[in-house]
A and B are shown apart, each in its own frame.
Chain A
Amino acid sequence: MKELRAAALLVALSLVPAAEAKEPLPTAPRLALGGEASLSYAPEDTGYFNDAAYGHNLTRLLRLDLLGSFRLAPGLEALFDLRSENLDSPQVYALYLRYRPFAPHELDLQAGRIPPVFGTFPRRRYAQENPLVSWPLVWQYLTTLRPDALPASADALLLVRGSGWRAPYPGYGAAAGVPTASAARWDTGVEARYANGPLELAVALTRGTLSDPRFEDSNDGKQLSARVGWQPLAGLGLGASIAEGEFLDAALPLPRGRYDQRAYGLDAELALGRVVFRAEAVYAEWDEPATGQPPIDRPLSARGYYLEGRWRFAPGWHVAARLDRLGFGDIRGSEGLEPWEAPVRRLEAGFGFVPRRHVLVKAVYQRNRRDYGFVQSQDLVAAQAVLWF
């Protein structure tokens, strides 16, 4: 019987051309897993310049990411990113479905805890893609603004400038404020992305806002965000983004009205052989209700921008630098017009080395300056080791 089967197979194979008889090449597996582990260390950041969400400091952090994708059907896949910081219990950083209904047309629909469409940095914040250790100020630096608390007056807000890692609001206690835009969390909702040649358009409707992405909504307002990308030349990418959504927690004693965060962004990337330049500018403003005297008489605004460059000067080696500024608009306090938060400036420069594939070691020098607060300057040296698979 065995010989008969072998003979039959031989006859069958001899009837088809040799090329067709070959075993087909394998396709990508249904389930794909990846991971990244990064460990950063620096002397204590006493000015909390590098604090990000969850009370963790980017220069003293162990971060573990487990990434996965599961192909459910042609064009339909589920993706996730589970993350643990400093061995805390894992958080769901991303969990969503992605569907391409009209392949090969590049229209993708995504629903769940989705990657942000605004700007570019949050989608490349993984340590292996970041040539430095910390993040741009506009995406990381914690302001004193809180969605769950209202400042008693303009003076009360001015009083706490430079303490965003633990902003004390009378009557609400102390808690971390929000960054201008958050790269540390992703929002929850739906989004569509369409690309045609050099043009790309992405639109998302989500529960939170740019500075406070949420899994569970804290108010009834939704955020609409969009980005248009254009690649006029090979190596040159340009983008413009916009976002608006209700910011303040509905549980607050708010006068009638909407209290939104609005943001506008521009981004650019230029790649010239071994050199890559990236720049991003974000202008954001938040509506805050008038409370005590003197009231906050205008929307609170922030403008952040950075220019980053990376040069791979030898195989496995790079040098990089980022020039970073985050400024804030004025409000009228008892002593006249003053910025509602402490402007911050940062220069971060360093090098990276790849001792072997999937391992990256970085060392940077960081210079931070802030116009107000207890600690107004902080220089530090930080190192980071990154492994990924």
Chain B
Amino acid sequence: MVLRRLLACGLLGLAPSGEALAATLRGRVEVRLEPRAPLVRPAPQALATATARETPDRRRSVVYLERAPQGAFEEPERGRAVLDQRGEAFLPYVLSIGVGTTVEFTNSDSTFHNVFSLSKPRRFDLGRYARGQSKSVRFDRPGVVRVFCDIHSHMSAFILVFAHRFFAATDEAGGYRIEGLPPGAYSVAVWTDGQVRETRPVRIGEDAETVTADFVVE
């Protein structure tokens, strides 16, 4: 909620300018939350055992600056990203992108999927499409977009759309890396499984090349 407000209402203000030496903020997010599988609705009306499903890794986090440096908004991302549907799951579970990014929703399952979102930053409904097909959506407004499948109610994912480029998703080991940070004082936030779990001030010194910030999410 806090993130949504920050992203959507333009509170990502202007922090110190970035002409000086750019540094890297890196670290690790250790998630100690109880792991949980997606809630699957029982289907007594089905004639068959449910197919084996992928379990998306909900421990993946996104680390980002709450306030980005001046000039960070002048080069909007126009990139592409992929959110696959495989084993009746969205993979990855969380996708972090910049404003202007187009996301390809691929279908790698043998069954139909119907991706949709009712989130304010981007409402869409891609209709049903089959294996091997792909449909894309461009995200032009920052915010948190929850994505679902209309056919498989246990499928869900998050897309975090940022108005700046100072964000990173954690890798399998929890590591992250945000590059190109000018010296200054920032507030760094960690988002995990639907919530902002921690925000912490981080100072990048004038001659700093790498600054480390580790987080523990409990």
Residues of A within 8 A of B (CB): 18-19, 22-23, 25-29, 32-34, 67-69, 75, 77, 79-81, 93-94, 96, 98, 100, 103, 106, 108, 110, 115, 117, 122-126, 191, 193, 195, 202, 234-235, 271-276, 312, 314-316, 354, 356-358, 388-389
Contacts and interface: CB of A to CB of B under 8 A. Distances in A.
Interface stretch (B19-27, B42-50, B186-194): B42-50
Contact of A123 (B45, B123, B173): B45
Given A27-B37, A315-B117, A115 B128 contact: no
Given A32-B40, A314-B125, 16 more contacts: A22-B172, A28-B37, A34-B42, A67-B43, A69-B43, A77-B49, A80-B44, A108-B47, A110-B47, A234-B112, A234-B131, A235-B112, A235-B130, A276-B128, A316-B116, A357-B148
Interface in B44-85: 44-49, 53, 55, 57
Contacts of B146: 357
A93 B123 CA distance: 37
Interface string B157-178: 0000000000000001100000
Contacts of B116: 315-316
A120 to B, nearest CB: 10
A150 B130 CA distance: 51
Nearest to B48: A108
A193 B42 contact: no
28 contacts: A18-B173, A25-B57, A26-B35, A26-B55, A28-B37, A28-B38, A29-B37, A68-B42, A68-B44, A69-B43, A69-B44, A75-B49, A93-B44, A94-B45, A115-B44, A123-B45, A123-B47, A124-B45, A126-B45, A191-B47, A193-B48, A235-B128, A314-B123, A314-B125, A315-B124, A316-B125, A356-B118, A357-B148
A32 B154 CA distance: 12
B44 A26 contact: no
Contacts of B173: 18-19, 22
A79 B128 contact: no
Contacts of A357: 118, 146, 148
A108 B51 CA distance: 12
B16 interface: no
Contacts of B41: 32, 34, 67, 388-389
A29 B57 CA distance: 16
Given A28-B37, A32-B39, A315-B118, A271 B48 contact: no
Contact of B127 (A26, A32, A81, A273): A273
Contacts of A34: 41-42
A302 B183 CA distance: 81
B129 interface: yes
Contacts of B118: 315-316, 354, 356-357
Contacts of A100: 48-49
Interface of B: 35-49, 53, 55, 57, 112, 116-118, 123-125, 127-131, 146, 148, 150, 153, 172-173
Give the interface centre of A79, A94, A315 by most chain B CB atoms within 10 Å.
A315
B35 A25 contact: yes
Contacts of A235: 112, 128, 130
B121 to A, nearest CB: 12
B177 to A, nearest CB: 17
A23 B30 CA distance: 12
Contacts, number: 116
For the complex of A and B, the 5 pairs showing the least CB-CB separation, nearest first, are: A234-B130, A273-B127, A69-B42, A274-B127, A34-B41
A33 B42 contact: yes
A206 to B, nearest CB: 14
B55 A25 contact: yes
A115 B37 contact: no
A316 B118 CA distance: 7
A357 B153 CA distance: 10
B151 to A, nearest CB: 10
B128 A271 contact: yes
Given A28-B40, A32-B42, A314-B125, A115 B47 contact: yes
Nearest to A65: B44
A315 B129 CA distance: 16
Contacts of A272: 127-128
Contacts of A312: 125, 127, 150
A22 B36 CA distance: 15
Contacts of A81: 44-45
A75 B42 CA distance: 15
Given A19-B172, A357-B148, A195 B48 contact: yes
A232 B49 CA distance: 22
B140 to A, nearest CB: 16
Nearest to B116: A315
Nearest to A128: B153
A23 B58 CA distance: 12
A33 B37 CA distance: 14
Give the interface centre of A26, A29, A125 by most chain B CB atoms within 10 Å.
A26
A96 B146 CA distance: 35
Nearest to A355: B118
A98 B49 contact: yes
A77 B46 CA distance: 13
